[in-house]
Amino acid sequence: MAKGHVGITFKQVTDPDIIEIIPVDRSLLPPGHYREAWQVIDLDISTVVTEWRAQILEDQHGKRYVDLPRSGVSRSVQYGIGIKVNSVYMSQYQMIPYNRIKEHFLDQMQIPVSAGSVVNFNKDAFERLDFFDDWVKKQLSSSALIHVDETGINTGGIRSWLHNASNDRFSYFYPHTNRGGKALNEMGILPNYQGILCHDHWKPYFHYGQAYALCNAHHLRELGARWATVGTADEYPSQTK
């Protein structure tokens, strides 16, 4: 290129008219089995808008007939089931705060979803799962062995407890401001339970079930704490053998 002249740089296009494949000459390869192995697995986040258009039919007498959408459409614009399901999943399973779920939909898909909407989605899911709630409690109540525990939580600034009962298939969580028998009775699993209860020595649990399997993780924790109070291994060498 001559000095002082403006150059032009070719750039690749995203939609070529013709694509030519250059195959590998397999006769030059060592014996073996070969395959085309290039794949890229990615995620495509997009917004899908479905518009319902009601067909209106008129008979020979001038009477008109119209059907309504059969997918729960009741407003001119509303949230779809995908937004509701993902909101409930992020809120209830991943434990993501409401405002962060709001930011997720706005940043990723430019969909405005308020924290209040997420609360309503959770309430709707809870009501729809009412029958499942009862069914899980029955499964746990009739189980030969269940594990029970409780942990402190904060609900709206109020000190509460998240009680749980589980076996190898199901887990049930129940929040309550009470830590003892009142909450365990209201949870509705332990009052008539006749199996083996695995727990952490918490006294109210001894009022339920027919037998007990005390948690070894808590045994080790308590032994460790007791050991720390009586001395070190150097002072008691015989106990380390």
What SS3 string covers 68-106? Answer: CCCCCCCCCCCCCHHHHHHHHHHHHHCCCCHHHHHHHHH
Q: What is the pLDDT of residue 75?
A: 77
Alpha helices in the chain (DSSP H): 81-88, 98-109, 115-128, 130-141, 181-187, 216-230
Q: What is the pLDDT of residue 238?
A: 45
pTM over 0.75: no
What is the distance between the alpha carbons of residues 177 and 199, in angstroms, rounded to a whole number?
20
Contact by Cβ (8 Å): 184, 160: no
pLDDT lower than 70: segments of the chain? 1-2, 4-7, 69-71, 230-241
Q: What is the pLDDT of residue 5?
A: 67
Q: What is the pLDDT of residue 1?
A: 57
What is the distance between the alpha carbons of residues 137 and 189, in angstroms, rounded to a whole number?
6
What is the distance between the alpha carbons of residues 72 and 124, in angstroms, rounded to a whole number?
13
Q: What is the pLDDT of residue 241?
A: 37
Q: What is the pLDDT of residue 33?
A: 85
Which pLDDT tens digit goes with each residue over 38-67?
A: 777 788 888 888 888 888 899 999 999 888
